[in-house]
Amino acid sequence: MNGYFLVELRTSLASPLRSYTAARILDGKRHAAVEAGEDRITVRNEEKWLRLERDGAIDTWTREDRNRRTLELAEAGTLRSASAEEGMDMAAEQWARELML
């Protein structure tokens, strides 16, 4: 996969993270910040955070508890781990839910 395509897919991952965290703060009591760049996406909500760092087609996500996993960004727009493959939107929704609890 070329680098430009990877950047575009990564941008496509930041967008649902913004949307899902925004949807979870409609009560006005919480706020999440999403920072996105070519090589890193960071989402913060108070003491909880998620960081996705890119190395080619591989993303490493790290949580505030230092839990860490690697995912491969596939051309189909899915995230592949050692045990499963899921759509970026489903992964973003899960991360937003965990961060906004």
Listed residue (83, 72, 66, 61) closest to 17, CA to CA: 61
More confident residue, 31 or 40: 40
More confident residue, 52 or 20: 52
Give the confidence band of 39 by pLDDT, cuts at 50, 70, 90: confident
User: DSSP alpha helices (H): ranges in 24-87?
Assistant: none
Tens digit of pLDDT for each residue in 57-79? 788 999 999 999 999 887 777 88
In the block, residue with structure tokens 């979870």: 24
pLDDT at 1 over 60: no
Q: How many CB atoms lie within 10 A of CB 72?
A: 14
